[in-house]
Structure 1
Amino acid sequence: MGEKQQRDRDLTRWGVSRRYSSLDMFYLFPIGEGLHTIEHKGRLFDLLIQNRGSDTTLVVFHGSLPPTQLTLPCLQGEGVSRLADVNLIALADPSLVMGDIDCAWFLGDRRIGPLRPILSPVIRYVLDSLNSKRTILFGGSGGGYAAVNFAQDFPGSIALAMNPRLNFNGTPSSKLPRYLEVCHGAMSRTPMLRVKRDFMTPNLLDDVNKQQDFDLLVVQNKNDKRYLHRQVNPFLSGVENPTRTWVSLFNGGDGHVPLPREEVAKLLKDLSNMESQTSDEYNSLGFESLGDYKQSVLSQDFS
């Protein structure tokens, strides 16, 4: 495959940024608003922090970069967090700098190693600095995988996954082989298996069934047939403990179309205003408990 020109780095959108020569240096300073860049093992970790004085903080993981994303970093969530009036931690995947690749699922690469053990403490440090009481980890598609994956490090949090990829082994096929090649130099079966073993859980259902200390909210476009029937429903049908998972289907455009930004913002605002994270509260926001969803939808989908 021919290589595309590597994306340029452009920070002009965010103005002045703070740069730290190491993770240790980052932890020495009080956290202010704006763009923060941390150097670590030859990578640049970019995170955008916006403090709106809210008790709720939105942590956003981007999915696959769209064709219009010509530069790095990619930091999403400014609009919806502003409309929802919640704090924001927007994260950019540091591995995308490695070449012709649009998505790396915040998994890491051969230079920095697995990303979650590095990035979760950074997120936790910022959450503590913001005095945040409620954490919502949010992502769509590939970002949905990251949100659910990282939520395991934040007990009591909410993972809000929209049209998510939850299983690399399921269809529709992902760009995982390209990630393995670009980020790990793995092009044959043995090194690919090694990377999968060391860097990821191919099917997140395996981790969720081991221990789920967070609330999982799945927001799925019912007209996104491939993701609904090949990713979301097989995952939900396999969840063994249904008490911390809720589902909301919306009527979007055909295909992998997300919920409109204004509706995402309203949902986030409603989640931030909940008195407690209970089934009654989620039901009032239009979510169906997984137990009810299995009876009403999955019984037909897998009949």
Structure 2
Amino acid sequence: MTLAVNEKTGLKERVHPFYKIPEVHQRNVNALRFDGQPRAVHTVPINNSLSLDFFIQTGKSDTLFVAFHGANMIDRNMYPRFERVQSLRKIAPALIAFADPTIMVDQSREMLLSWYLGGPGWDPMNEITKVIRKAIGKTGSRRVVFVGGSGGGYAALRASAMTPGSMAFVQAPQTSIARYIPHVVKTYFDVVWPGWSQEDLLKAFPERFDMVRHYQMKQPENFVYYMQSRSDPSHVENHYLPFKAVYGVRDDSGVSRSGRHKFVMYDGEVRGHGTILAHEFDFHLSEAMKFYESHSR
């Protein structure tokens, strides 16, 4: 691997072998430099042998978009993986897409989903928050929109709850880890929390493992635009309805009494979970931004 030193930042760089754009090697999360490359992949050492990796473009913008990915595929189990970059980068001058470093805890690479949850003694959301704060300073953004579907939607709901005034724009997210596919949940806990009681952890830390309970208990001061396909019954029953019930919304679609949470049940052109067509995503993103901007002035 050939690394060169950027004379402006003093940081080592190379061309990323997969993404074919600059890859910047940051020293640590408390000394981030974003003044060397306007668009790049960054890698930051965290938690001993792990790194936090993210794509970022740092154009000036009123709104910073932050994207999280869902589960990796068995035949495309790569790290770092960035989602929604193609969907967002042309309309979002200020954009970050994070890879989930938790995935790399599993040396066997059999764990395909870990919700950006980290493990004992470390939570990548702490480092992610520091990156976002630095990016806000660089881009001048006053709004933050967290974007994610499925497992990435869970991370978006959690990150937005930690960021007052932000919005989570989520597509068929999980909202409670305990209500997701049992063997997927078990794999995460077996790999990342060996020797710990899964049941005890799920009950004890709703702010980490259960967004339904967390939003109900803490009532975070953020906004949520939640889109859910009607033909995805497990996510409707186990995730959409319980989260919607927190805000007393009884119809299939509706807005909470506070006006901060919009729930949209729609008929997806592709049935089931996980496939949202580009025009569906773009339409709902436009609607979400209208909703957010009208309430966050």
User: Is contact 2:119-2:192 (8 Å) kept?
Assistant: yes
Question: What secondary structure sits across from 2:114 in the alignment?
Answer: coil
Summarize the Cα distance change of 1:54–1:81 in structure 2 as closer, same or farther, 3 Å threshold.
same
Question: What secondary structure sits across from 2:179 in the alignment?
Answer: coil
Aligned residue number for residue 18 of structure 1: 24
1:248 equivalent to 2:282? Answer no
| Structure with the higher helix share, 1 or 2 | 1
Deviations 1:92-138 (A, max 9, x none): 0011112221111011124x612222221221211221111221101
The TM-score with structure 1 as length reference comes to 0.78
Aligned residue number for residue 226 of structure 1: 234
Matches within 5 A, 1:7-156: 11-26=17-32, 30=35, 32=37, 33-41=39-47, 42-99=49-106, 100-110=110-120, 113-156=122-165
Q: Which amino acid aligns with 1:248?
A: V
The TM-score with structure 2 as length reference comes to 0.79
Matches within 5 A, 1:119-268: 119-173=128-182, 175-186=184-195, 189=197, 193-194=200-201, 197=204, 201-209=208-216, 210-239=218-247, 242-243=257-258, 244-252=260-268, 253-268=270-285
Where do 5+ consecutive residues of structure 2 fail to align? Answer: 1-15, 249-255
Greater length-normalized contact order (CA 8 Å, ≥ 6 residues apart): 1
Q: CA deviation at 1:199?
A: 8.8
Q: Distance in 1 between matches of 2:156 and 2:114?
A: 13
RMSD: 2.8
Q: Distance in 1 between matches of 2:29 and 2:156?
A: 22
Q: Which amino acid aligns with 1:211?
A: Q
Q: Distance in 1 between matches of 2:242 and 2:202?
A: 24
Matched residue count = 267
Deviations 1:3-60 (A, max 9, x none): xxxxxxx74314321102322332x563642111101222111010123443222100
Summarize the Cα distance change of 1:233–1:192 in structure 2 as closer, same or farther, 3 Å threshold.
closer
Bigger mean CA deviation after superposition, 31-40 or 195-204 = 195-204
Where do 5+ consecutive residues of structure 1 fail to align? Answer: 1-9, 282-303
User: Is contact 2:113-2:188 (8 Å) kept?
Assistant: yes
Deviations 1:208-247 (A, max 9, x none): 1212211111010111111112211122113367422111
Question: What secondary structure sits across from 1:24 in the alignment?
Answer: coil
Deviations 1:127-161 (A, max 9, x none): 22111122110110111110010112211111011
